[in-house]
Every structure is written in structure tokens, then in C-alpha cells.
């Protein structure tokens, strides 16, 4: 199943260092991480948080499923950070703070206060 593959790939990368602009196992930024994980499942997705936040369909937070994207406002305006839902309460992402891919609860106050939306991608097969 597609979602299981996405989550499995994402979890396999836990501990990978953060690298601004990174999109490979040498280091990831948040959107590069998402793009790489989906690409490993044969799915082409946009590269930037802004583009990702306009993709797929919006999902209410209580309806989160594995593989959905979760967006947060960490700086600037609108969604500025993205991660991949593992289940309805946890996500995996590449944050710049503490510098590595990790799993965190969506309900952690820092993330809960900054939650913008979740999206389920309408995916296309990569070339």
C-alpha cells in the first residue's frame, strides 16, 4: 500500500542530518525530505512548502491518515514547514532545530500552536 511505503521510507530516514536545500540522504530540508520520500515510492510531488500546500485535498486534522502531509507556520506568513503524518498523532519531518529527521507528536504544544492544515496528495506516478 502506498501510505505504508511512504511512512516506512520516512521512518527509515530518521536521524538523517538537516541541510538547508537538501533533498537526499546526505541531508534534507523539510520539503526536500517530503519530495525524496514520495519519489522513493515512485510519486512525483512539488519541491517547495508553498507548492506542496496547494497540492492534493485538505484533510481535517482528526481525519489524518498515514502519508498525509502536515503543515505548520514557523516563520513568515502561511505554511512554512511540512512533515509526513505517521498516524493521527505523530509526524516525521526534517526540522532545522536539533538538525535531524525525527518523529514528534502533532499535539506537542510547539507544533499544535503552529498547525496550519493537513493535505492528502493527489499523486501522479514519477517518470
- The answer to whether residue 93 is catalytic is yes
Q: Considering 7, 30, 84, 121, which one is annotated as catalytic? A: 30
What is the signed CA dihedral for 34, 36, 39, 41, rounded to 10 degrees? Answer: -80
- The answer to whether residue 73 is catalytic is no
Q: Considering 90, 93, 119, 120, which one is annotated as catalytic? A: 93
Q: Considering 81, 102, 119, 120, which one is annotated as catalytic? A: 81
E-strand spans in 2-56? 23-24, 27-28, 43-44
DSSP state of 88: S
Catalytic residue set: 30, 81, 93
Amino acid at each position: 500500500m502506498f501510505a505504508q511505503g511512504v511512512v516506512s521510507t520516512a521512518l527509515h530516514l530518521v536521524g538523517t542530518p538537516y541541510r538547508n536545500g537538501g533533498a537526499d540522504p546526505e541531508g534534507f530540508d523539510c520539503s526536500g525530505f517530503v519530495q525524496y520520500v514520495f519519489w522513493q515510492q515512485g510519486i512525483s510531488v512539488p519541491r517547495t512548502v508553498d507548492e506542496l500546500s496547494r497540492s492534493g485535498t485538505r484533510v481535517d486534522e482528526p481525519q489524518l491518515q498515514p502519508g498525509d502531509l502536515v503543515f505548520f507556520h514557523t516563520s513568515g506568513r502561511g505554511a512554512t514547514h511540512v512533515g509526513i503524518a505517521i498516524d493521527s498523532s505523530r509526524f516525521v519531518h526534517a526540522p532545522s532545530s536539533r538538525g535531524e529527521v525525527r518523529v514528534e507528536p502533532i499535539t506537542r504544544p510547539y507544533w499544535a500552536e503552529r498547525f496550519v492544515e493537513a493535505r492528502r496528495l493527489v499523486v501522479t506516478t514519477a517518470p
